[in-house]
Structure 1
Amino acid sequence: MKIIMISLDTLRADRLGCYGYGKPTSPHIDRIASEGVLMERAYASDIPTEVAHSAIFSGNIGLTTGLVSHGSELTHLPKSFDWLPTKLKAAGFVTGAVDNLYNLKEWFARGYRHYINSSGKKRWIDGRTVNDLAIPWIRGHKDEDFFLFLHYWDAHTPYLPPEPYTDLFYGEGRDPFGPSNPSMNRAYSHPAYPFFKHHHYNLLGPVTDAEYVNALYDAEIRYLDDLLRELDEVLEHEGIREETLLILFGDHGESLTEHDIFWDHCGLYEQTVHVPVIMRWPGRIPEARRVPGFVQHADLMPTVLEAIAEETPIGIDLTSLTLSGKLDGRSLWPAIRGDSAGTMDEVYLSECAWQAARAIRTEQYKLIRYYDAGPFRRPSAELYDLRQDPEETVNLADRLPELAAELEERINTFVGQKLKGRPDPMMVQIQQAQLPFRRRIEMILGAVGLSWESWMADPQRERYDVLEGARRK
C-alpha cells in the first residue's frame, strides 16, 4: 500500500473547476476528483499554515494541542501527542517528505525516515523543485509500502507563474501597469503593505491592475495542476497508481481583495477557511463521490489510520484513538461510503497571526468574534447569513443581537470544553507576545524610523515609501 498526501498550500476551494470555478485552472485535479471523492464543505479549523498542518498530522485542533498561532515563539508540541508519520513509520511504512515546514517548527520532521527539505536560496519554492525531488524518491521506493508527504507552495505569494500560464488568464492587449487604473490603490495603502511590498509587490513590478494579480493566482494553480498531472503519470508508469491512496488538500485558502485582505490568508471568511479535500483510491473509493456535509482537517489522520488498519493488520487500535478523546478528528470513511453526510454538524474556526479571532459556521450562519484585529478595522463581531449572503458582505450582528449572542456563547462553551481549565493559548499569545505578524510589520517599520502607532494613524501610508527610499540611498 502507498499513501501520498499532498498539501496544496494557499489553494481556496472555489478556484477549482470541480468546486464550480468557470476558468480552466484545474483540469487534472478535476479528473482526480471524478475518479474519487470530493469533500464539498471541508474546513480549515485553524489557520494559517503552521497550525493547519499541525491539525492535519495530529488529528487534533489547536485548542487541544495548544497550537493556535503561526510563527509564535511560545508554541511547542509535546511528543505525547500522536503524529501521523510517526504512527505510520511504527507500522512498517517507509516514510518520506518533500517539505520545508521543519524550517518553521521541529515537529514537522517527526516520524520521517527520509525528510527532504525543499528550501533553496529563494524565499519561495517552485513546484518544479518538489517534483524533481519527489519523483526519484517514488521510483526508488515503488516496491515498498510507503507514506509520502508533498508540499506545494505555488498558489502562495509571491505569484510568479511561468509566463505562458499567465496568458491563459490575463488576455493580450491588457496592461497591468497602466497609469489610469486605480484598482491597486487600496492594497498599496493597506497597513500590511510594508510586509507585502518586500515579499510580493517588489517582485511583480509597479502593478496597477488588481485583476492582473488575481490572474497570476489562477495561473499558479494551473501550473500546479500540470505538475500534479506529471506526478500522476509517474504513478501510472511505475504501476503503482491502483494501490496508492492519494489525498489532496488545501491548508487554507486566499483572499483576493475580499474583506480588505489583499492576496493573503487571514480572516475566517469562506475564501480562506473553505478548502479543497479530494481523495482517490482505485477500487476502494467510489468514483465521482461528493460528500455534502462539514468535515475538517483533523479528520484526515483517523481516515488514513482506518484505511491502513483495514488494508493490513498493523495493530493500530483506531477505536481507542478516536473514542477516548485523543483525537478531535473523525474518520471520513462513513461519509465516503454514504453512511453519513459528514463528520460534524457545525465547524469551529480559529486564527491568531495577523489578527486573533474565532468563529462558528453552521448550516446557515457564521459568527466571527474578534479579540485583536491587528492591522484591520473590524467590529467586535460579524454575523452573516450564508444562505442569503454567501460572500459575507452584510454584517447582521447589530440587527440580530440575540442570535449573535447565542452563537458567541456556543463558541465560548466549545472553547471551555476543549481547554478543560487550561489557559487559553490565544489569550496567552495576545497578552504575552502580541500577534506574530504585527511583530513582523513592526520590525520593518522600525528599520525606517516608524512605530506601529504612527503607521496605523497615517491613512495615506505615504511616509513609508519616502523613508524606505531614503534609507536605501
Structure 2
Amino acid sequence: MKIILVSLDTLRASRLSGYGYGKPTSPHLDRIAREGALFERAYAADIPTEVAHTGIFTGKIGLTTGVVSHGSELAHLTKSTPWLPTMLRSAGFETAAVDNLYQLKEWFARGYRYYINSVGGNRWIDGKTVNKLAFPWLEQHKDESFFLFLHYWDAHTPYLPPQELVPQFYAAGRDPFDPGNKSMEPAYNHLAYPFFKHHHYDLIGEVTDSEYYDALYDAEIRYLDDRLKELDQHLERLGIADDTLLVLFGDHGESLTEHNIYWDHCGLYEPTVHVPVIMRWPGRIAEGRRVPGFVQQVDLLPTILEAIRRESPAGIDLAKLGEPSGMDGISLWRTIEGKADRTHDRVYLSECAWQAARGIRTDRYKFIRTYDSGPFIRPERELYDLQEDPEEAVNVAESQPEVAERMERELEEWVARKLAGRTDPMKRQIEEAGLPFRKRIEQILASAGLTWDDWRQNPLRERFDRAVSSK
C-alpha cells in the first residue's frame, strides 16, 4: 500500500475550477477530483501553517494539543502525542517527507526515516524542487508500502509565477503599473505594510493594480497544477498510480483584499478557512464523489488509519497502528461511501498569529470573537448570515443580538469543555508573549527607527520608506 499526503500551502478552495471558479486554474486537480472524492465544505479549524499541519498529523485541534499559534516560542508538542508518520513507521511503512516545516518546529520531522528538507536559499520553494527531490525516492521505494508527505508552497506569497502563465488570468490591455490606478493604496498604507514590503511587494515591483496580484495568485495555482500533473505522470510511469491513496489538502486559503487582508492568510473568513480536500484511490474510492457537508482537516488522520485497516497490506502490523485517544477528527469513509454527508454539524475556528480570534461556522451563520486584532481594526464580535451574505460583507451582530449571544455562549462553553481546567494557550500567548506576527512588524519597524505605537497612529507607506532609506 502506498500513501501520498500532499499539502497545497495557501490554496483557497474557491479559486479552483472544481469548486466553482470560472478561470482555468486547476485542470489536473479537477481530473483527480473526478477520479475520486472532492469535499465541498472542508475547513481548517486552526490557521495558519504550523497549527494546521499539527492538527493534520495528530487528528486533534489546537485546543486539544495546546498548539494554537504560529511561530511562537511558547508552543510545544509533547513527544507522547501520537503522530501519524511515527505510527505508520511503527507499523512497518517506509516513511518520507519532502518538506521544510522542520524549520518551524522540530516535531514536523518526527516519524520519518527519510526527511528531505526542501528549504533553499529563498524563503519560497518551487514545486519543481519538491518533485526533483521526491521522484528519485519514489523510484527507489516503489515496491514497498510507504507513506510520503509532500509540501508544495507555490500558492504562497511571494507570487512569482512564470510570466507566460499570467495572461490567462489578467485582462489583455490592462497595465499593472498604471499610475492612474489607485487600487493598491489601501494595501500599501496598511499597518502590516512593513512586513509585506520586505517579503512580497519589493519582489514584484511598483504595482498599482490590485487585480494584478489576484492574477499572479491564479497563475501560481496553475503552475502548481502542472507540478501535480508531473507527480501523477511519474506515478503512472512507475506503475503504482492505481495502488496509491492520494490525499490532497490546503492547509489554509488566502484572502485577496477581503476584510482588508491583502494577499495573506489570516482572519476566520471563508477565503482563508474554506480549503480544498480531494482524495483518490482507484478501485476503493468511487469516481466523482462530492461530499456536500462539513469536514475538517483533522479528519484526515483517522481516515488514513481506517484505509490501512481496510486494505490490510502485507507486511504491515495493524496492531502497532494504535488508535489515538481523544481525537477530534472523524474518519471520512462514511462520507466517501455516501452513508453520511458530513462528519461535523459545525466547525469551530481559531487563529493566533496576526490576530487572535475564535469562531463558529454553521450551515447558516458564522460568529467570530476577536481577542486581539493585531494590525487590523476589528469589532469584538462579528456575525454573518451566510445564506443572505455569502461574502461576509455585513456584520449583523447588533441587528441579530440573540443569535450572536447564543453563538458566543456556545463558543465559550466549547472552549471550556476542551480545556477541561487547563490554561487557555491563546490567552497565555496574548498575555505572555504577544502575537507573533506583531512582533515581526515591531522588529522591522525598530530597524527603521519607528515604534509600533507610533506606526499604528500614522501608518503611511511613504513615511516607512523614508525611514528605511535613511538607515
Query: When the two structures are superposed, what TM-score results if normalisation uses the length of structure 1?
Result: 0.98
1:208–1:270: structure 2 CA closer, same or farther, 3 Å change rule? same
CA drift at 1:38: 0.5
State whether structure 2 residue 158 is matched by structure 1 residue 158. yes
Supply the distance in 1 between the matched residues of 2:350 and 2:95 (Cα, whole angstroms). 30
Moved over 4 A (4+): 313-320
Take 1:84 and 1:164, find their aligned partners in 2: how far apart are those partners?
Answer: 39
Q: Which residue does the alignment assign to 1:112?
A: 112
On the 8 A contact 1:302/1:318 being kept in 2, the answer is: no
CA displacement at 1:402 relative to structure 2: 1.2
Secondary structure at the counterpart of residue 470 of structure 2: helix
Matched position secondary structure for 2:279: strand
1:298-337 equivalences in 2 (<5 Å): 298-312=298-312, 314-316=316-318, 321=323, 325-337=325-337
Q: Does 1:253 align with 2:243?
A: no
- 3-state secondary structure, aligned to 1:182: coil
The equivalent residue for 1:42 is 42
Give 1:320 deviation, angstroms: 7.4
CA distance in 1, matches of 2:446, 2:246: 46
What SS does the corresponding residue of 2:72 show, helix, strand or coil?
Answer: coil
Change in Cα spacing, 1:319 to 1:88, as seen in structure 2 (3 Å) is closer
Shift of 1:166: 1.2
Aligned twin of 1:145: 145
Residue correspondence of structure 1 range 197-346 to structure 2 within 5 A: 197-312=197-312, 314-316=316-318, 321=323, 325-346=325-346
- What is the CA deviation profile of residues 219-249 of structure 1, one whole-angstrom value per residue up to 9, with x for unaligned ones? 0000000010011001111110000000010
Give the 3 Å change call, closer, same or farther, for CA 320–416 of structure 1 in structure 2: farther
Q: Residues 341-352 of structure 1 correspond to what in structure 2 (within 5 A)? A: 341-352=341-352
**Could you list the runs of 5+ residues in structure 1 that have no partner in the other structure?**
none
- Aligned position for 1:384: 384
Q: 2:129 maps to which residue?
A: 129
Query: Is residue 186 of structure 1 aligned with residue 202 of structure 2?
Result: no
The C-alpha deviation readout for 1:113-164, integer Å capped at 9, x for no partner, is 0000001111111111001111111111101111000000000000000111
Q: Secondary structure at the match of 2:71?
A: coil
Partner of 1:433: 433
Q: Secondary structure at the match of 1:242?
A: helix
The aligned length equals 469
2:54 is aligned to: 54
**How far apart are 1:461 and its partner, in Å?**
4.3
Deviations 1:183-207 (A, max 9, x none): 0000000000000000000000000
1:270-305 deviations in Å (ceiling 9; x for gaps): 000000000000000010001111110110000000
| Structure 2 letter corresponding to 1:140 | Q
**Contact kept in structure 2, 1:305 and 1:318, CA below 8 Å:** no
Whole-Å separation in 2 of the counterparts to 1:455 and 1:376: 13
Matched-pair contact (CA < 8 Å) for 1:44–1:52? yes
The CA RMSD over aligned residues, in Å, is: 1.2
Q: Partner of 1:455 in structure 2? A: 455
Cα deviation digits, residues 369-398 of structure 1 (max 9, x gap):
000000100000100000110000000001
Shift of 1:171: 3.7
Question: SS of 2:405's equivalent?
Answer: helix
Give the superposition deviation at 1:41: 0.5
Separation of aligned partners in 1, 2:380 and 2:268: 14
| AA matched with 1:321 | E
Does the CA-based 8 Å contact 1:305-1:316 persist in structure 2?
no
Quote the Cα distance in structure 2 between the aligned partners of 1:112 and 1:214. Answer: 37
Residues 455, 461 of structure 1: 8 Å contact kept: no
Partner of 1:88: 88
Structure 2 Cα separation of the partners of residues 404 and 269 of structure 1: 16
Give, in whole Å, the separation in 1 of the partners of 2:238 and 2:364: 46
Query: Aligned partners of 1:459 and 1:5: how far apart in 2?
Result: 42
